[in-house]
Amino acid sequence: MLKHFSELAEEIKDDAGLVHAEMSSLERLANRAIKSGDFSSLRYIFEFISDIARHRSEVDANVINAINVSFLEGLNFSNKSHGDEAKQLLPPVLLEMWRAQMEHNRKIGWMK
């Protein structure tokens, strides 16, 4: 991940190899991009994650779980300034995964 997101080096230095911690760091980076309206960076992040998701049958299930739980679940699409536009940038594979995760969360009572 650091090859693509060197700005996360300090944040994940103690968590290298912990896939949920690394995905959470990337989720925070994405949310900073949403908050500031940095759609170029957000597209890059989404493309990085969607490349993994498109090959999910070949990827360790823990990585896919981390994408759902530690990345997609926390994206702040409710941001009043840029949330709607940010959500529209989700590639189809991530939008499908995000919707499935939100539906799962509703079913288990984590969301209304």
C-alpha dihedral, 103 to 108 to 111 to 112, nearest 10°: 90
Q: For residue 60, what pLDDT band results from cuts at 50, 70 and 90? A: very high
Provide DSSP, 2-64.
Answer: TTT-GGGHHHHTTTTT-HHHHHHHHHHHHHHHHHHT-HHHHHHHHHHHHHHHHTGGGS-HHHH
Instruction: Over range 91-102, report the average pLDDT.
Output: 97
Report the predicted TM-score, pTM, of the whole model to 2 decimal places.
Answer: 0.92
Mean of pLDDT over the chain? 94
Model confidence pLDDT, tens digit, residues 9-44: 998 888 878 999 999 999 999 999 999 999 999 999
Using pLDDT thresholds of 50, 70 and 90, give the confidence band for residue 112: low
Q: Where are the domains of the chain?
A: 6-107
